[in-house]
Amino acid sequence: MRGDSINFCEFFKELNNQNTELHNAGARTMLVIDEGATDAQLAEVEKMLDISLPDDLKEILKLSKKIYWYWTLFGKTIIPSDFEQIKGTFSINLEEIEFFTAPLVKIKVRRLLKIAKSIDGEDIIYDLKEGSIYCFNYYHNQLFQMASSLEAYLAITIQNKGLAMWNYGLIGNKELKESAFEFIREFLKPLVSDPDAVEIVNYACIHGAEEIISKGLPNEEDVGRVFTEIMHRLDADLNHFKGYNNLIIELCPAYAKKWIISLWVSKKYEKIADFIYLRAYFTGKALPAKEALKLISETIPDRASGKDVYRLLSTIGDSVIIDWMQDKVNYPLGDWVNLFLESQPTKEQVFSWLEGDIIYQETVCLALKNLSKESELLKTYTKEEKMKLFILLLGVNHNCLFKKDKEEIIRAIRLIIKKFFIE
């Protein structure tokens, strides 16, 4: 049914309620409801298009000629593989209404009226012949029916908070749609002490593990249930592997250790893109530094680039890395420098590298240049150690005078001296 069957006033009221609900749930929201279009403004658009606008579309435009609603959940999130981002939108704008233009043939289709944009920038289309609402997916170059009428489209918008779900295998599958909608509704429930592992995992996927930890889980048994639920999901769909990385490490590290060690002998996940880096991430975060280094380093080839080594070892964050990398470091130094600094070098290691070959000296200088004022390494030097550092830096400065790229190292030395002796 079309036209007089739609209670547009109720729709605007419910739209405002949804916006308030999402705002209270922690979303960033924007709702704009403009003044209604006049008969003259509607007539002008009809004249330009050389058609009569459908009654139901005109009725909503008379209440507001421009409706824009947008919301997004922000902050640290772990996004489930079903959705690119957790956000929603709805819009209709009288000034932007035009005929849909077929991208491949660049021909305006006079039965298809473009009335809005989806959250992904896709066209929302009113079929003038059928009264149906479609979404045009540019990636697939295909129209997908979203609703049988404008009334149904507005109901879907309210029911599902404007979510862009049409590109994720949900089109035309009623059962899948309903489960996905329930999935989103679960995200927006406040978690207090519900022991149900499925809900906790779902909530964590959108809000991040940190919030779950700050709220506190009821007991250790529930943490085990959460980890078990995550493992069930990984068994069912390996695409969740990336999505659960922080959740596994931050929420369930004790349960994860045995599983992480098994990743080094199992071939189950090897087809996942960037698996070796994800495995190294888990390993560096959850296992003791020496144990993690032993497992990861055995897979690193000789003369590996600093970029690859950094991606594999940076999560360990321990000085054992510096001793290991001493005979591995090579040019360009960029990521080797970052790895050196993030591995918490001891003063003894700093002195040792400054007394070594020029490549080690350069690595230390570029790393120390990036020390923050709050660095513990900066705070712990005694006067005697600072003097020793100063003398070693003078030696590096002399050694660099004959290098083509001496300017960068000399600037670094000046910044280090400023940090240690002036600030």
Q: Looking at the DSSP assignment, which residues form a beta bridge with residue 54? A: none
Task: Say if 344 falls within a structural domain.
Answer: no
Task: Give the position of tokens 């949804």.
Answer: 18
Distance CA 189, CA 25 (A): 8
Q: Are residues 132 and 273 in the same domain?
A: no
Residue 310, domain member (yes or no)? no
Nearest to 349 by CA among 324, 376, 372, 317: 324
Tell which of 237, 252, 287 closes a domain: 287
Is the pLDDT higher at 178 or at 238? 238
Domain assignment present for residue 396? The answer is no
Q: Residue 164: which pLDDT band, with cuts at 50, 70 and 90?
A: low
pLDDT at 320: 94
Same domain, 177 and 128: yes
- Whether 182 and 205 map to the same domain: the answer is no
Last residue of a domain, one of 131, 162, 186: 186
Domain boundary residue among 186, 220, 239?
186
Range from 14-23, 154-163, 332-341, 411-420 that averages highest in pLDDT: 332-341
Domain that holds residue 109: 3-186
* 27 and 169 in a common domain: yes
Q: Give CB contacts under 8 A, 24+ apart, made by 92-96.
A: 92/60, 92/61, 92/64, 92/66, 92/67, 92/116, 93/65, 93/66, 93/67, 93/68, 94/37, 94/41, 94/42, 94/45, 94/61, 94/65, 94/66, 95/65, 95/66
Domain membership flag for residue 262: yes
For the CA atoms of 207, 208, 213, 217, the dihedral, rounded to the nearest 10 degrees, stands at: 60
The domain total for the chain is 2
pLDDT in tens, 210-246: 656 665 665 677 777 778 878 877 776 666 666 677 6
Q: Are residues 26 and 172 in the same domain?
A: yes
Strand partners, 102: 107
Confidence of residue 185 (pLDDT cuts 50, 70, 90): very low
State whether 32 and 165 are in the same domain: yes
Same domain membership, residue 132 and residue 60: yes
Give the sheet arrangement for strand 123-127, strand by strand.
98-102, 107-117, 123-127, 133-137, 142-147
> In this structure, are 137 and 230 located in the same domain?
no
Decide if 249 is inside a domain: yes
180 with 202, same domain: the answer is: no
**Rounded (10°) CA dihedral 169, 174, 179, 180:** 40
Same domain, 162 and 223: no
Q: Based on the domain organization, do 136 and 52 belong to the same domain?
A: yes
Three-class SS state of 196: coil
Stated as kind and residue range, the H or E segment containing 42 is helix 39-49
Q: Is there a domain that residue 95 lies in?
A: yes
> In the structure, what pLDDT confidence band is assigned to residue 297 with cuts at 50, 70 and 90?
very high
Q: What is the pLDDT of residues 35-87, one digit of tens each?
A: 889 999 999 999 999 999 999 899 889 988 988 888 776 543 333 444 444 56
Please indicate, yes or no, if residue 273 is contained in any of the structural domains.
yes
Distance between CA atoms of residues 423 and 407, nearest Å: 23
Q: What is the mean pLDDT of the chain?
A: 76
Query: Contact at 8 Å (CB) between 317 and 344?
Result: yes
Nearest to 222 by CA among 246, 202, 194, 248: 194
Q: Under a CB-based contact definition with an 8 Å cutoff, are residues 89 and 95 in contact?
A: no
Q: Are residues 237 and 156 in the same domain?
A: no
Does residue 385 lie in a domain region? no
Distance separating the N- and C-terminal Cα atoms of the chain: 74
**What is the CATH classification number for the domain harbouring 20?**
3.40.1580.10
d(CA 206, CA 86): 8
